[in-house]
Chains A and B, each alone.
Chain A
Amino acid sequence: MRTSDVIVIGGGLAGLTAAIAAVGRGRQVTLMTSGAGTLAIGGGTIDLLGYLENNTLVATPRAGLSLLPPEHPYSKVGSQVVEDAVQFFLTMCQEESFAYTGGLDQIQWLPTAIGTVKPSCLVPLTMDSTPIQTASQVVVVGFTRLKDYFPELISKGLGTIPGFQKEYQEIVVDPGFTGGRDVTTLDIARWLDTIQGQQVCREQLVKHMKPGSVVIIPPVLGSRPSYVVRDTLEKMLNCKFVEAVIMPTAVVGLRLRAMLLQRAKRLGVTIMEQAHVVKAVQESKRVTAVITGNVDRERSYPTKAVVLATGGFFGGGIVAEHDSIGEPIFDLPVTAPAEREEWGTRNLFADAAQPFAKIGIQVDTNLRPVNSEGQVVLENVYVAGRNLAGYDYCLEKSGNGVALVSGYKAGLNC
């Protein structure tokens, strides 16, 4: 009988991190995915902690950690694990030749497509905004027909923010795309993957740019986890690029996912796509197998441990019906306000926390699910990522941070 040491359910940042951490410990790991996950369309930066519950900005992510309530996932695993997870991630990126920069002791302020800045922690080298802050003049580059990206909006907005008050100039590059489809950053990134695209882009930019310019550009510097496109263009134009934060689909998440998949596969993680896990086989408080329910039939996969990283409401890891809420695979207890009216506040744009954001599965310090009395429900199941209760990624700017830290912890424990 083929038995996995660990089955990781979910192929997002939490699941992939758990799988990579576990296989690194010599575990035989099977990763089961359903769909490509939000990682592929997301921003791809590791926002660790920007704001606290009362919407106050942290001095640094590290300083913020000690101010979090005990039910927060970071508090559960402890600050040393957060520190180790950050190091684990930075080392992994370095080894995959796709280094990220940042750390717990500084906030990375990232310019966005709407002319604001957003606090992050670990970012790809293409998004390091330090060059903007030290420049006097900044060029904002847009692309013809690119949706939801307006250079004027960026320069106008950034011009009002301390540290970003520069002399801005806008340039629009025309990639000359045919066809009626909307132009996305991925289309442009794939175009810039080609030498021909790089040359056309250079020709259109070079006449407007002084040597040593700092350039804000949407995330289009290549579709793959590599800095080759950035390096080539920076050399061609003698400039410094900074990629802006945009709406999904952002190529940055796609690159990060490709890097993680590449590493997981190389280290020997077995990946099963479209394996929709529907339930599990249990013996007392232990899971002995997970069962997939595809269109044709159910299949059973024996395992010694499970990492549950199926996401929140969007990923299907937590399902709310009209009169119920639950975790669909193991039927784990989900903590939510008793009355539906208490799930949300009506002031949608008040910059205030929405109670539903913290809905999730309660865990012990080893990320094992617990019931309302705090007793461990399943001894060999570890919960990671957006399944977890007690944090508000939207308000805190902590989404990928919690995914990374809890995925790393789950991968160490399973």
Chain B
Amino acid sequence: MKKHHYNPDACTACTSCVIHCPVAQAVREFQGPKLAGPAGERFRLQEDEWESALEYCSNCKNCDISCPSRVPISTLNMKARAQYYKTHKQPLRDWILSHGEQMAKMAGLTPGLANLGMNNVVSKAILKTIGISNKAPLPAYASESFIKQFKKIKQQTYANKAVFYPGCFVNYNQPQVGLDVVAVLQANKFEVIVPEAAVCCSSPLVVNGYMDEAEANAHKNIAILQDYVKKGYPIITACTSCGLMLKQEYQELFTIEGIEQVASHIYDIAEFLLELYDKGQLNTNFAKQTGRYLYHAPCHLRVQGIGTPSLELVRMIPGIEVIDADAGCCGISGNYGFKADKHDIAMAVGNTLFETIKTSGIDTVLSECGTCRLQIAHGAGAKTVHPISIVRAAYDRK
């Protein structure tokens, strides 16, 4: 670890992480991040069976956000969880939830049928028996993946190129977000490249302990993205968890040649556009809109240390009012809230956010993270939109 302190002994046991942990707040069975992470490391050196604390961590990273000593607490938990499952049996449920990409590819053969299959009573009962909550907001598959739709777009060619890494959720579940990213980049005179061979960032693999597969994916992605980085192209993501994994968690977890160079070229789409603005190059020819929104900052954005660029960007559009919900974690944390034994915890974690939304009098919530959007729709009954779609609409309606 170069720039990141990886030393668990940097932990001073100040407990800042414990008081800011949303899971510890929701469930007393969780020992909290300090014991699960840095303190647990000491016990794990001696005992094999010290895993009970690891079970509850959702990898939401509020511990990392609160730590004054920059200990990557959540990553210590994830590494220990992977180590634990090397010698212990892992449920089928975890495999299914970590392999969304493979599941989507299978479903992609017959998405209509797959969605029908996921959402009927019988299938939900089957999912429940393997440990997936029958109340959880499982995402529907799109009828056509982003990459398939992207190939049909006739882009304007420009000298400026940008690489867009869609990630599984945009590719298989909500391709419209990806199409909006492409349209916005085109409106800013960038030609978009989508690396088709890139694989799942491995965020769901890491949280479920499939560390070897995650490392293999990381090697593959870095090798692919490296070629573009060498040409000086920026790598853009619209999913905050993919972005965090590519630029930060890979470095915390794995040693891969060239990883730092790739990390230094990864941008959140809104961050990228604001950098264009700073250089006087952003197309600010926004048509006046009408809209009042709440904004939910995903935890995986907050931990990146780049502020909330989407909020800033959307506020540049005339006629749009956005209020920062500022109500903490939504609870879903990737696929944590899909698990039968974690669904209630996830709902308890998100309760402050849900109540904030319900009492706001605003019916639409903006958020960059796909699973945050699912959880917000599920817990607060609100409409949800990726902020980039608002930006695209402002370019379109002139």
Which A residues have a C-beta under 8 Å from some C-beta of B? 1-2, 34-38, 40-41, 177-181, 184, 186-187, 190, 248-249, 254, 265, 270-276, 292-297, 299, 314-316
Query: What separation, in Å, do the CA atoms of A74 and B24 have in the docked complex?
Result: 40
Q: Do residues B305 and A276 form an inter-chain contact, with CB atoms below 8 A?
A: yes
Contacts of A34 in B (CB 8 A): 68, 70
Min CB gap A303→B, angstroms: 13
* Chain A residues with CB below 8 A from B4, complex form: 295
* Cβ–Cβ contact B3 & A249, under 8 A: no
Whether A36 lies near B20 (C-beta < 8 A) is yes
Contact B32 A181 (CB under 8 A): yes
Other-chain contact of B28, A38, A41, A187 (Cβ < 8 Å):
A187
CB distance from A57 to the nearest CB of B (A): 30
Judged by a CB distance under 8 angstroms, whether B274 is at the interface is: yes
In the complex, the answer to whether A180 meets B31 with C-beta atoms within 8 Å is yes
Q: Which of B107-115, B188-196, B216-224, B246-254 faces chain A?
A: B246-254
A253 and chain B: residue at smallest CB distance? B19
A276, B278: Cβ atoms closer than 8 Å: no
**Interface positions of B from 353 to 375, Cβ below 8 Å from A:** none
Which residues in B have their C-beta under 8 angstroms from that of A274? 64-65, 302-305
User: Are A41 and B70 in touch, CB under 8 angstroms?
Assistant: no
Cβ-based interface call for B157 (8 A) = no
A14, B252: Cα distance in complex, Å: 32
Task: Identify A38's interface contact among B25, B29, B68, CB under 8 A.
Answer: B68
B contact residues around A314 at 8 Å (CB): 12, 68
CA–CA, A316 and B29, complex, Å: 33
B68: chain A residues within 8 A (beta carbon)? 34-38, 314-316
- 7 cross-chain pairs, A with B, having the tightest CB-CB distances, nearest first: A179-B28, A35-B68, A274-B305, A36-B66, A296-B247, A297-B264, A272-B307
User: B306, A272: Cβ atoms under 8 Å?
Assistant: yes
Closest to B20 in A: A36
Most B-side CB within 10 Å, residue of A36, A38, A249, A295: A295
List B contacts of A275 (CB < 8 A): 305-307
B277 within 8 A of A: yes
A294 to B302, CA, bound (A): 12
B251 contacts across to A, CB distance below 8 A: 295
In the assembled complex, the Cα of A264 lies from the Cα of B68 at a distance in Å of: 21
A272 to B: closest C-beta gap in Å:
4
Contacts of A270 in B (CB 8 A): 307
Instruction: Check if A35 sits within 8 Å of B70, measured CB to CB.
Output: yes
Complex CA–CA separation, A35 to B62 (angstroms): 10
Output the residue of A179, A181, A254, A315 with the most chain B CB within 10 A.
A181
CA distance A249 to B66 in the complex (A): 14
Do residues A295 and B15 form an inter-chain contact, with CB atoms below 8 A? no
Task: Give B313-343 as 1s and 0s: 1 = Cβ < 8 Å from A's Cβ atoms.
Answer: 0000000000010100000000000000000
How close is A81's CB to chain B, nearest CB, in angstroms? 28
Query: Could you tell me if A1 and B70 are in contact, using CB atoms closer than 8 angstroms?
Result: no
Residue of B nearest to A278 (CB): B3
Per a CB cutoff under 8 Å, which of A36, A272, A292, A295 touches B16? A36
Tell me, yes or no, whether B14 is within 8 Å of chain A by CB: yes
In the bound complex, what is the Cα–Cα distance between A313 and B18 (angstroms)?
22
Which residue in chain A gives the minimum CB-CB distance to B243? A296
Alpha-carbon distance A314/B11, docked complex (angstroms): 11
**A-B pairs with CB below 8 Å: how many?**
109
The reply to whether B14 and A38 form a contact with Cβ atoms under 8 Å apart is yes
Binding site for A on B (CB under 8 A): 3-4, 12, 14-16, 18-20, 24-25, 27-32, 64-70, 247-248, 251-252, 263-264, 266, 274, 277-278, 280, 302-307, 324, 326
Q: Let me know if A180 and B29 touch, CB within 8 A.
A: yes
Q: How far is the CB of A161 from chain B (nearest CB, A)?
A: 30
Chain B, residue nearest A187 (CB): B28
- The residue of chain B having its C-beta at the shortest distance from the C-beta of A35 within the complex is B68
Are B19 and A249 neighbours in the complex by a CB distance under 8 Å? yes
**B247 contact from A36, A180, A295, Cβ within 8 A:** A295
> Which residue, A34, A248, A274, has most C-beta atoms of chain B within 10 A?
A274
Kindly report which residue of chain B lies nearest to residue A311, judged by CB atoms: B68
A residues in contact with B306, CB < 8 Å: 272, 275, 294, 299
**B30-A181 in contact (CB<8A):** yes
Chain B residues closer than 8 Å to A178, beta-carbon distance: 28-29
Chain A residues with CB under 8 Å of B18's CB are: 184, 249
Q: Which residues on B sit within 8 Å (CB–CB) of A273?
A: 65, 302-303, 305, 307
Q: Which residue of B lies closest to A302 (CB)?
A: B278
Q: How far is the CB of A250 from chain B (nearest CB, A)?
A: 10
Q: Would you list 8 pairs from A and B whose C-beta atoms are within 8 A, ordered by A residue? A: A35-B65, A38-B68, A40-B19, A40-B20, A180-B29, A190-B25, A274-B65, A293-B3
Give the distance to chain A from B252, nearest Cβ to Cβ, in Å: 7
Chain B contacts for A35, CB-based, 8 A:
16, 65-70
Q: A359 to B326, alpha carbons, bound, how many Å?
A: 37
CB-defined contacts of B307 to chain A, threshold 8 Å? 270-273, 275
Is A40 within 8 A of B66, CB to CB? yes
CA distance A273 to B64 in the complex (A): 11
CB distance from A144 to the nearest CB of B (A): 13
Q: Name the residue on B nearest A191 (C-beta).
A: B28
Given A38-B14, A272-B307, A297-B263, A2 contacting B29 (CB threshold 8 A): no
Complex CA distance for A296 and B306, rounded to whole angstroms: 11
Task: Name which residue of chain A comes closest to B261, CB basis.
Answer: A297
A256 to chain B, nearest CB (A): 13
Report Cα–Cα, A187/B306, bound state, in Å. 32
The CA of A262 and the CA of B323, in the complex, are separated in Å by: 14
Nearest CB in chain A to that of B307: its residue: A272
Question: With contacts A35-B70, A274-B304 known, is A40 near B274, CB below 8 A?
Answer: no
Quote the shortest CB–CB distance from B327 to chain A (angstroms): 12
B27 near A179 with CB under 8 A, answer yes
Residue of B nearest to A270 (CB): B307
Q: Can you add 16 more A-B contacts, CB < 8 Å, to A271-B307, A295-B3, A295-B4?
A: A1-B280, A2-B277, A35-B66, A36-B68, A40-B20, A41-B15, A41-B19, A178-B28, A187-B28, A273-B65, A273-B302, A294-B3, A294-B248, A294-B306, A296-B304, A315-B68
Query: How far apart are the CA atoms of A311 and B256 in the complex, in Å?
Result: 35
Known interface pairs A35-B70, A37-B68, A274-B303; A296-B19 also in contact (CB < 8 Å):
no
Are B305 and A265 closer than 8 Å at their CB atoms?
A: no
Expressed in whole angstroms, the minimum distance between the Cβ of A206 and any Cβ of chain B is 26
- Taking the closest CB of chain B, its distance from the CB of A147, in whole angstroms, is 11
| B252: chain A residues within 8 A (beta carbon) | 295
CB distance from A45 to the nearest CB of B (A): 18
Of B15, B20, B248, B305, chain A has the most CB atoms within 10 Å of the CB of: B305
Say yes or no: A181 contacts B31, CB within 8 Å: yes
Q: Is the CB of B14 within 8 A of A41?
A: yes
> Which of B65, B68, B277, B324 is the most central at the interface, judged by chain A CB atoms within 10 Å of its CB?
B68
Name the A residues within 8 Å of B20 (CB-CB). Answer: 36, 40
B residues near A297, Cβ cutoff 8 Å? 263-264
Give complex CA distance A249, B13 in Å.
11
In the complex, the chain B residue whose C-beta lies closest to that of A262 is B326
Nearest-neighbour CB distance to chain A for B240, whole angstroms, equals 13
Question: Which residues of the other chain, A, contact B65 by a CB distance below 8 angstroms?
Answer: 35-36, 273-274
Contacts A274-B302, A294-B305, A296-B264 given; indicate if A249 touches B69 (C-beta within 8 A).
Answer: no
Minimum CB–CB distance from A281 to chain B (whole Å) comes to: 14
Q: How far is the CA of A314 from the CA of B67 in the complex (A)?
A: 12
A193–B324 CA distance with the chains assembled, in angstroms: 24
